[in-house]
Amino acid sequence: MLRRLFNRGFDRVERLLDGAFGPAWNPLAHLGSLGWLLFWVVAGTGLYLFIFFDTGVHAAYESVQWLSEDHWYHAGVARSFHRYASDLMVLVMLIHILREWAMDRLRGRRWFSWVTGVPVLWFVYISGITGYWLVWDTLAQYVATVSTELLDALPFFSEPIARNFLSPETLNSRFFTLMVFLHIAIPLMLLLMMWIHIQRITDARTNPPRGLGIMTLLALLAVALVMPAVSQGPADLATVPQRVGVDWFILSLYPVIESVPPGVIWTGALVITFLMIGLPWLPPRREAPAAVVTLDHCNGCARCVADCPYAAITLVARSDGAPFTHEVVVNEDRCVSCGICMGSCPSSTPFRRSEELTTGIDLPSRPLSQLRLEVIEAARSLTGEGRVLTLACQHGSAGAEGPGRVVLPCVAMAPPSLIDYIISRGLADGVAIAGCSERECFNRYGQEWTEQRFARQRDPYLRERVPRERLLLLWHGTSEARRTLREIASFGARLAAMPAYGKVRPITETRAPDRAGAPEAGT
Amino acid sequence: MTRPARYRDMVAGGIVTLAVTAGAAWLSAKPEWQSLEPGMALVRISFTHGGDRSGSCRPLTAEELATLPRNMQRKEICDTHYPPVTVELDVDGQTVLARELPPSGFNGTGPSRLYQRIELPAGSHDFVARLRDNPQTAGFDYENRAQADLVPGQSYVIEFKPAQGGFTFR
Ligand code: HEM
Ligand code: SF4
Ligand code: SF4
């Protein structure tokens, strides 16, 4: 319920941003890749700052002052980039988490990215916290005190580590050096986790669209020049910071930590972490069984390997003695049953005559033969002029079942030949493909593959003979159901106004595929 | 395919990106957080000190000595566990802290630890700190007093250093 509310909410906000950025550059559709860009910005500027930074606790503040003031035009700018890109990274990450959850891209066999994202979340925060420590200004002193008091609540340290920051006499460099080390080590671990995070998806987008990336960098530059990042007063352990300027992205929890007993904080952190790790199974997604390969119909062309968005198919050496070099195997733990592979297989053609309509790779719970029957069934409910059959994505604006509509896990599950079949067999006067939102596909690449197949840029091509004016592609988000119906209706009206399609070769009643999947005329 | 970017997207998107980035930069230091109320000073009393274990020592019996290898023979055997330490702090005649600190470590073989924050209004204050670490004796083993004129935001630290005769104040 809540998820649906957020899902629609995101869709609404994203439509607004579509207006400003255009769907190709919509930042909400590129949060993951923006996160990567920001990480590289932070890492690059961090290395640069390190050249000028003095790692001793007594000279650190001075060195940061020097680079911010005397060398503001390069090192100071780098410092602002370093801080503001970290802030944006936190922002981008938090929205990314909320959005992936709202889009329900975490449950079932898609759990991997989510679960590996949880340590990413912590590493981002810890990287930021250790960074603020290094400036050794009053904020750093505040961070040091609150952090060590929190850590002391754990039974790990023989001596309260907060004692390091009691007075100028107790301060020692040892702890500071540890922080310098952690501020390098933790981001490296973050990078490793970010890399693991995207291992189970194909071609994860780690580079934002160039325009969006340039905009982000220019905005950072402008802000770095106008509102440079500065230190607060130098740390002085003879005093306690009374009023501090807190970074509300990285340190937003610090005022809370100060006001709540440490036991509550640690329990809360632990509960939230485990709750997040468990979220993909709360509740578990009822998933269809994984795609199955039928070697008799597979020639090892590897189109399905290229099209599977979840890296679930691998090409291996041929095992059945057929005169091909390769075949494919499906990794059942990764397959989310999106059906995109079925749509990509050259053997997936509803025109086939074979007894059982089988193809190279298919969803056992909803094979091509059944899809053909569903399409024929849906076409029966279409009457009058301008009959539109809709192939809809379950995650888009037309995801609800309806007359004349076949809802698929992804519109890329429909092989192009199915469109050809619907029109050339006269099942409908036109076909509407209603996918998910233009800016981003639930199944990552379904939209792109569909567009490319229809544009004859990606195998399997939509045949030339299919009249394009009888095809409508809609990429609408979940909050646009009415717009979709409107556009389908006007498409129907346009079809009705066209002269009837002349090349129809209807399925004859006797030869129509019945429940047993009877043979059917070829092309 | 999504429609190609237009000139308008660069302008409108650029403005939004700039606004978000500027907003983030602003939030990176403001609004300020009042960690310690104005006019307050912070007193922290902190130490690590093990209670006196000498009371638990007893001479080894002749049989016990005989079972030990030569290089491990000692006159006395003592408990490895520390007894608890009792600490009290009075500020201006009011007891603000009275605690029995158990030894640390999972089986009580570590010293007692204390780290306690006490916020006080700035101004002159009298401090009396007492500590009892020997279960054998009655009453407190240490008692030290000090008077301090605290300014707002000052950090005033009370530690326990038996080598210096008990509590230190600064
Ligand atoms: C700043 C840190 C992070 C970065 C840079 C990042 C980056 C990415 C990238 C590049 C993708 C692939 C997007 C695509 O090509 O479709 C992705 C997907 C995803 N991320 Fe993150 N991520 C971060 C943090 C997180 C966190 C903290 C979580 C959750 C706890 C999370 C959950 C997910 C999920 C569920 C997906 C979708 C996977 C799928 O499509 O099956 N991410 N992330
Ligand atoms: S259904 Fe096919 S394309 Fe989709 S995840 Fe499974 S193997 Fe990959
Ligand atoms: S697309 Fe079809 S024929 Fe090609 S490798 Fe995959 S299953 Fe085999």
Could you tell me if residue A65 is inside a domain?
A: yes
CA dist A243 → A232, A253, B32 (Å)? 10, 16, 6
Q: For residue A30, what is the domain's CATH number?
A: 1.20.810.10
Which residue of A169, A215, A247 is the best one to mutate when testing the B interface, meaning the one whose CB has the most B CBs within 10 A? A215
Domain shared by A258 and A180, yes or no? yes
CA distance A241 to A256: 16
Q: What is the pLDDT of residue A355?
A: 63
* Residue A520 reports pLDDT greater than 60: no
Could you tell me if residue A204 is inside a domain?
A: yes
CB A505 within 8 A of CB A424: yes
Query: CA of A513, closest CA in chain B: separation in Å?
Result: 35
Greatest distance between any 2 Cα atoms in chain B: 98
Q: H-type helices in A205-356, by residue range?
A: 210-226, 254-259, 262-278, 303-307, 340-344
> Can you tell me the ipTM of this complex?
0.84
CB A495 within 8 A of CB A487: no
* Residue A513 reports pLDDT greater than 70: no
Domain shared by A299 and A276, yes or no? no
In this structure, of A163-167, A447-451, A519-523, B140-144, the range with the lowest mean pLDDT score is A519-523
Put simply, whether B102 touches A (Cβ < 8 Å) is: no
Domain shared by A370 and A470, yes or no? yes
Residue B109, C-beta contacts closer than 8 angstroms, at least 6 positions apart: B80, B81, B82, B103
Q: In whole angstroms, how large is the CA radius of gyration of chain A?
A: 29
Could you tell me if residue A104 is inside a domain?
A: yes
Q: SS3 letters for A109-134? A: HHHHHHHHHHHHHHHHHHHHHHHHHH
In total, the C-beta contacts within 8 angstroms joining chain A to chain B are 169
Sheet holding B40-49, edge to edge: B112-121, B40-49, B155-161, B166-169
3-state secondary structure of A196: helix
B3 pLDDT band, cuts 50/70/90, is low
Cβ separation B21–A160 shorter than 8 A: no
* A45 C-beta closer than 6 A to ligand 3: no
Could you tell me if residue A431 is inside a domain?
A: yes
Cα(A388) to centroid(ligand 2), Å: 28
CA distance B83 to B101: 9
Q: How many domains does chain A have?
A: 2
Could you tell me if residue A522 is inside a domain?
A: no
A517 pLDDT band, cuts 50/70/90, is very low
* Residue A519 reports pLDDT greater than 90: no
Domain shared by A259 and A179, yes or no? yes
| Single-letter amino acid code for the residue at A171 | L
Could you tell me if residue A426 is inside a domain?
A: yes
* A103 C-beta closer than 6 A to ligand 1: no
Supply A18's token pair: 């579509």
Query: CA of B100, closest CA in chain A: separation in Å?
Result: 17
Residue for token pair 């237009």: B6
Domain shared by A9 and A69, yes or no? yes
CA distance B129 to B29: 39
Domain shared by A62 and A172, yes or no? yes
CA distance A4 to B166: 65
* A231 C-beta closer than 6 A to ligand 3: no
Put simply, whether A22 touches B (Cβ < 8 Å) is: yes
User: What are the pLDDT digits (tens) for A427-440?
Assistant: 999 999 999 988 88
- Tell which residue, A490, A491, A484, A485, has the closest CA to residue A437: A484
**Would the pTM count as exceeding 0.80?**
yes
Query: CA of A215, closest CA in chain B: separation in Å?
Result: 6
Cβ separation B35–A258 shorter than 8 A: yes
User: What are the pLDDT digits (tens) for A12-54?
Assistant: 999 889 888 888 899 999 999 999 999 999 999 999 999 988 8
* A349 C-beta closer than 6 A to ligand 3: no
CA distance A140 to A133: 4
Q: Residue whose CA is closest, atom 8 of ligand 2?
A: A308
Residue for token pair 């590897």: A302
Q: What percent of chain A has pLDDT over 70?
A: 96
Could you tell me if residue A286 is inside a domain?
A: no
CA distance A473 to A450: 9
Domain shared by A334 and A450, yes or no? yes
Domain shared by A29 and A126, yes or no? yes
* Interval B138-154 mean pLDDT: 85
Domain shared by A301 and A270, yes or no? no
Domain shared by A50 and A176, yes or no? yes
* Residue A521 reports pLDDT greater than 60: no
3-state secondary structure of A322: coil
Domain shared by A45 and A151, yes or no? yes
CB A36 within 8 A of CB A206: yes
Q: What percent of chain A has pLDDT over 90?
A: 62
For chain B, the straight-line distance linking the first and the last C-alpha, in angstroms and rounded, comes to 70
* Residue A518 reports pLDDT greater than 50: no
DSSP string over A376-396: HHHHHT--SSS-EEEEEETTS
Domain shared by A460 and A427, yes or no? yes
Q: SS3 letters for A244-274? A: EECCCCCCCCHHHHHHCCHHHHHHHHHHHHH
CA dist A386 → A164, A475, A497, A501, A502 (Å)? 79, 21, 8, 11, 14
- Tell which residue, B150, B36, B159, B121, has the closest CA to residue A146: B36
In this structure, of A46-55, B2-11, B128-137, the range with the lowest mean pLDDT score is B2-11
Q: What is the pLDDT of residue A354?
A: 58
* Minimal Cβ distance to A249: which of B24, B33, B153: B24
Cβ separation A258–B5 shorter than 8 A: no
Q: Mean pLDDT, chain A, as a whole number?
A: 89
Burial class of A350 by CB neighbour count within 10 A (0 to 12, 13 to 18, 19+):
buried
Cα(A343) to centroid(ligand 3), Å: 10
Q: What is the pLDDT of residue A508?
A: 62
Q: B-chain residues within 8 Å CB-CB of A245?
A: 29-30, 32-33
**Measured in whole angstroms, how far is the alpha carbon of residue A441 from the centre of its chain?**
9
Put simply, whether A289 touches B (Cβ < 8 Å) is: no
- Tell which residue, A7, A26, A4, has the closest CA to residue A15: A26
Cα(A293) to centroid(ligand 3), Å: 8
B89 beta partners: B97, B129
DSSP string over A52-74: H---STTTHHHHHHHHHHTTIII
Could you tell me if residue A217 is inside a domain?
A: yes
Domain coverage including residue A332: 292-496
CA distance A488 to A431: 9
Q: What percent of chain B has pLDDT over 90?
A: 9
* Structure-model confidence comparison of residues A166 and A241, the more confident one: A241
CA distance A162 to B48: 12
User: What are the pLDDT digits (tens) for B24-60?
Assistant: 999 998 888 988 888 888 998 888 887 777 777 777 7
